Structure 1
Amino acid sequence: MLRGIRKASTNWLGKTIMSVVMGVLILSFAVWGIADIFKGYGQSSLAKIGSTEISTEQFRQLYTDKLQQIGRQFGRPLTSEQARAFGLDRQVLQQVIAEAALDEDARRKGLGVSDAEVMRQITADPNFKGSTGAFDGARFQQLIRSLGYTEQRYIAEQRKVSLRRQIAGTVTGGAEPPKTMLEALSRFQNEQRTIEYVKLDTAQAGTVEAPSPEALAAYFEDRKTQFRAPEYRKIAFVVMTPEEMAKWSVVSDDDAKKAFESSKARMSTPEQRQLSQMVFPSLAEAQAARAKLSPTFTFEDLAKERGMTPADLDLGMVAKAGIIDPTVADAAFALAPDSISEPVQGRFGTVLVKVGKIQPGTEPSYDSVAATVKRDLAIERARAAVADMHNKMEDERGGGSSVIEAAKKLGLTAVTVEAVDRSGRTPDGQPVAGLPVGTDLVSQAFASNVGVDNDALQVGGGYVWFDVLGVTPSHDRTLDEVKDQVVARWRDDQIAGRLRSKAAELVEKLGPAAKFADVAAAAGVKLETSAPFKRDATVPGLSGGVVEAAFRSAKDAAGSAQGASSAEWIVYRVTDITAPALDMASDEAKKLKETLQRGLTDEQVAQYVGKIESEIGTRINQEAFALATGAGTNTN
């Protein structure tokens, strides 16, 4: 599974999609994160792993949720066709099967995890920490809700994640990259090279005479496709979003004050308290510990006696809503500063809570937030107006009106673009101004045609309607139409060819006994020396091609490579190669080791999951899988 994910991320588009997928799964713990591991049995089975069956409808729901989450990250919906093109359907299936296999393995091994440990993991998760660095209950609720989870369901899921981590920790225990591998990778990353070099540019190319009409005609004929006119489309569109409509809405002070009063709590800063918590396995032990406390035997002394550090106790500066357990929250916020509670029977055990510093809450005044409240209220009202206008626009479109005609009837503004190519540019090469941000309007227009009734595109809580009004097909241009471009291209090619030949000549002259300074002086160019650079460095004055070429050359070897453009060539000689020895006690070595170790553990866990799946038996209903992912009966 992990190899498949890495393979999917090797190209730039895949990397973009995978970065979004990782953003959607940001709440994950190690191994695999949040996933809906299915319970019970579906009547229509999509897959079965041991005794765990995954129904088609359950998988469809999970798959749809994932696409919606990714779509929210992109700012526009991801279609089933796009998802399949990126391989997301297979990745989600592999993830679900792998997680189900690990859960089945945990069940068979009789593994378990305590409530207190689950609570510790959740409150320690950095994704749920607020600006103070402490667990933020409001952030916790917001993040899990954004992924469709209730608190109870999330806690249940993290119990499963914890069990998977136990298995993974056992499987990968002792996995450590060998020293030779660390040293080899360190050398590859940290090796530095120094070169001396000269730059050849248009000055060294000499005078380039204008081509004869015959030569230019022949040049154009050989490269006619390079000067071909692209296809253009004439489109009309209407944009309707809450933000746009809100600009024309006036909100009275009376309405704004009512909205302010109803949302004051959300806009206020709640009281926060510095809390420490000690968990006990039973009420009796908690009562006995509480009885020990006195002016001479403090809460911290009790922690030391129980082998606990301050970090084990500290919950940070938290608001009441930031405490998962409401019983503990009520007790903590009923205490005076620098006091300790009686034993509290909480959700995850019996606890003693100590309150330190108390930071009072704050409430904003209406005047300080009036502008924000009015803007938000205008946008909220506009959302309803957008929904109403959407229905009216669809009715007009359904009645046969064009986008321009429907917009005119409804008092909306339609925009017409006379000609745009696939890259969003006009015939003069300039980007089309005013295209709606956050949509792929141009690509959608090129996927449509004149007379087609197109679905509205969703953008920013609103919609974009468009029509294709005309198509100008791609066609060959005559030499007269593009003569200036052809002459410029011909001249560039002449210069590039001369510089390439000149560079080759200089490289031949740079034999073992030749002095680069003498060769440079004879050629009339300046000899320069670079600072030491690594293979992934951006070196001022040198192109990436030159850096790559330098790392393919041996010490004292000469070579050449194109510079920043075809009108610049670099001739170089490698003068020094250094690679610092890796200090195994350094932070760099530790980070390098962690990176390699993650790769090794990923492979080991993937192999273990594969072994579980083969041993307990995994069956996939390909037709059901195709149905759930919108591919019909086509599983290819």
Structure 2
Amino acid sequence: MLVVLRKASKTLFAKILLILLVASFGVWGVSASLFSNTSDTVVAVGDQTVSSADFAFAYQRQVADMSSRFGTQLTTEQARAFGIEAQVFSQLAAGAALDQLAADMNLGLSQDRLAQLIADDPAFKNAAGSFDRGLFSSRLRNAGLREDDYIQERSKVAIRSQIVDATADGFVAPKVLIDAIKSYRYENRDINYLLLTNANIEPVKAPDDATLAAWFETTKSGYRAPEYRSFNYVKLEPADIADKASITDDQIREDYERRKSSYEIAGTRTIEQLSFENR
């Protein structure tokens, strides 16, 4: 099978499909809005299509997986910040491209091989290490999957793996890439730290009155500030409003005659009298 796949992958049509497969990751990852339309099809590669329901299910599954990793339910804004929507588009586009290539190459998977792959999945094995039919149904039910849908999807994944393994067989990664991945995966950090708690600190006693008084005397200047008062006033004097040139002597005389009673002071006399009962 691998020999046939290698030969098929060398054809011009297969190479074009593989190039489109790689390009789909970049295109869908840049902007999913470029392919928005009113139909139910989200992704179309040849005869392979992905419906909006399939996309919604894959998106929800990806969000649930990320939420379990972070230990909290991601909001729509957080999922968008992580680029989950673009990731799901890229995965679905790549899967559709591989499915189309598999269909063009007439690749398939036997029922026995498919059953063996499902039975070998650790997620469906019991404590004894054997396939558990009840555990299989329970896991799919908890994931919101029907058995037929899961089996169909598992078959597609297995066929896709055949294509990927065949095209990647014999590929040797550059040493720089291997060293970078190895350094990333197995990199360690040594941390030296000192832990200080209240138990390492001698308790500070409450100061007595003498200590507080002495401290206040040395620092009281820092708490003093001059006292200020603010006020508003209008300065107005007779000279500011009086116009001497506009008052005549007759007006002064007339005003005096009218007010002269207020300027008069009645005359007074002091009398001393001695009284005797008889002369």
- Pairwise TM-score range, normalised by the shorter structure: 0.3 to 0.5
- Bigger RCO of structures 1 and 2 (CA < 8 A, at least 6 apart): 1
TM-score, normalising length from structure 2? 0.48
Greater fraction of residues in strand: 1
Greater fraction of residues in helix: 2
TM-score, normalising length from structure 1? 0.23
